[in-house]
């Protein structure tokens, strides 16, 4: 073990408690309104800083995604380029979050890398500067950098912190990869949900505009939703494939989890309006 190893930087997952598609921009991207909340279910990263400038990543996910395509190394390189630092880092990733499920693991890993290295390299960028670098890596990176549950507009970069109910969730992870680009390119995707104002936020009908089409095209998602909805209010997060059921207590979530039939997988987590990454920073 390297002696200057800084350990256990959390990269939490997020849920989109709702995801409304309000329109399509001329560049093809969609205008969204969404409510992001973190859950206490996280990847974990370790960092050892060096003076040679080299960046290396150790991760079991290399079998699935080449290290050169990993958002962690892309984030570290972006921070080097932006700040001109000559420092580098050896990075270890303990991957827990299912990939491509709409819970934002890749974006969260990128955000944790930016926040941790900004701290460990002492490059002193502001949160806004880090969020700007992060946005170029993915629409969901800024909310992970800010670390507060938020109502988001635009493509997810205009963030207003909100206090959402910190429920317990049973999250099901259908074994299917849903392509975000494919969902947004679907001609039948509804794109006309009226925009909510902040005042209507908590009282309005929360839904996910991507859910009906994804459920139609991916029977595994439809099956997970059909089962979960029998026990709790349930929705899809992001563009899927994960779906979550909402519970008041851990016990209620556990009772339902215990009934999970063969062929469905999932986990229990608690919603949290302050990200475990932000909590880690304040504990230093
Ligand atoms: C749907 C969300 O998960 C909500 O949290 C995110 O906005 C998705 O963010 P992401 O996974 O980082 O997605 P990106 O990699 O930026 O986009 C993938 C593709 O989805 C489409 N896309 C994405 C976001 C958006 N607001 N409008 C789009 O039309 C674009 O074709 C884009 O090329
Ligand atoms: N560190 C990383 N962790 C996960 N995926 C990564 C990582 N780096 C690059 N990727 C790529 O990004 C893709 C999307 O990953 P991610 O797990 O963030 O999807 P997601 O949960 O659907 O995210 P979102 O909700 O932001 O759409 C993966 O399929 C993988 O190819």
pLDDT for residue 3: 64
Ligand 1, pocket-test mutation among 20, 37, 139, most atoms within 8 A of CB: 139
Mean pLDDT per 10-residue segment, the chain (284 residues): 83 98 93 97 98 97 94 98 98 95 97 98 98 95 97 88 97 95 96 93 91 97 98 98 98 98 97 96 78
* Contact 142 CB / ligand 1 (< 6 Å): no
Nearest-atom number in ligand 1 for the CA of 156 is 7
* Contact 34 CB / ligand 1 (< 6 Å): yes
Q: Whose CA is nearest to atom 4 of ligand 2?
A: 106
Q: Specify whether 209 is catalytic.
A: no
* Contact 101 CB / ligand 2 (< 6 Å): yes
Sequence ranges of the domains in the chain: 5-163, 168-272
pLDDT for residue 238: 97
Select from 3.90.1310.10, 3.40.50.20, 2.40.400.10, 3.30.70.890 the CATH code of 168-272. 3.30.70.890
Select from 3.40.140.10, 3.30.230.10, 3.40.920.10, 3.30.200.20 the CATH code of 5-163. 3.30.230.10
Q: Ligand 1 mean position to 189 CA, how many Å? A: 14
pLDDT for residue 156: 73
Whether this model's ipTM surpasses 0.90 comes out as yes
What string of H, E and C letters represents the secondary structure of the chain? CCCCEEEEEEEEEEEEEEEEEEEECCCCCEEEEEEEEEEEEEEEEEEEEECCCCEEEEEHHHHCCCHHHCHHHHHHHHHHHHHCCCCEEEEEEECCCCCCCCCCHHHHHHHHHHHHHHHHCCCCCCHHHHHHHHHCCCCCHHHHHHCECEEEECCCCEEEECCCCCCEEEEECCCCCCCHHHHHHCCCCCCCCCCCCHHHHHHCCCCECCHHHHHHHCHHHHHHHHHHCCCCCEEECCCCCCEEEEECCHHHHHHHHCCCCCCCCEEEEEEECECHHHHHHHCC
pLDDT digits (tens, 9 = 90+) for 205-230: 899 999 999 999 999 999 999 999 99
CATH topology agreement for domains 5-163 and 168-272 = no
pLDDT for residue 98: 93
Q: Ligand 2 mean position to 284 CA, how many Å? A: 28
What's the pTM?
0.96
pLDDT digits (tens, 9 = 90+) for 94-144: 999 999 899 999 999 999 999 999 999 999 999 999 999 999 999 999 999
Q: Specify whether 128 is catalytic.
A: no
């Amino acid at each position: 073990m390297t002696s200057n190893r800084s350990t256990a930087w959390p990269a939490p997952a997020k849920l989109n408690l709702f995801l409304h598609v309000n329109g399509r921009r001329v560049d093809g991207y969609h205008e969204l309104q969404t409510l992001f909340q973190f859950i206490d279910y996280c990847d974990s990263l370790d960092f050892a800083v060096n003076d040679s400038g080299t960046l290396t990543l150790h991760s079991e996910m290399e079998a699935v995604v080449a290290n050169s395509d990993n958002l962690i190394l892309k984030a570290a390189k972006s921070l080097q380029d932006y700040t001109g630092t000559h420092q580098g880092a050896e990075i270890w990733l303990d991957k827990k979050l299912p990939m491509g499920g709409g819970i934002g693991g890749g974006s969260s890993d990128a955000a944790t890398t930016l926040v941790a290295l900004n701290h460990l390299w002492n490059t002193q960028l502001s949160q806004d500067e880090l969020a700007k670098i992060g946005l170029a890596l993915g629409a969901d990176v800024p909310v992970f950098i800010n670390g507060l549950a938020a109502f988001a507009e635009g493509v997810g970069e205009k963030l207003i912190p909100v206090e959402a109910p910190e429920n317990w969730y049973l999250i099901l992870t259908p074994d299917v990869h849903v392509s975000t680009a494919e969902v947004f390119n679907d001609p039948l995707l509804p794109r006309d949900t009226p925009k909510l104002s902040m005042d209507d936020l908590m009282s309005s009908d929360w839904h996910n505009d991507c859910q009906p089409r994804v459920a139609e095209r991916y029977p595994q998602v439809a099956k997970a939703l059909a089962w979960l909805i029998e026990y709790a209010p349930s929705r899809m997060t992001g563009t899927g494939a994960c779906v979550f059921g909402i519970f008041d207590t851990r016990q209620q979530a556990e009772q339902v989890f215990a009934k999970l039939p063969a062929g469905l997988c999932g986990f229990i987590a608690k919603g949290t309006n302050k990200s475990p990454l932000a909590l880690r920073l304040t504990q230093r």
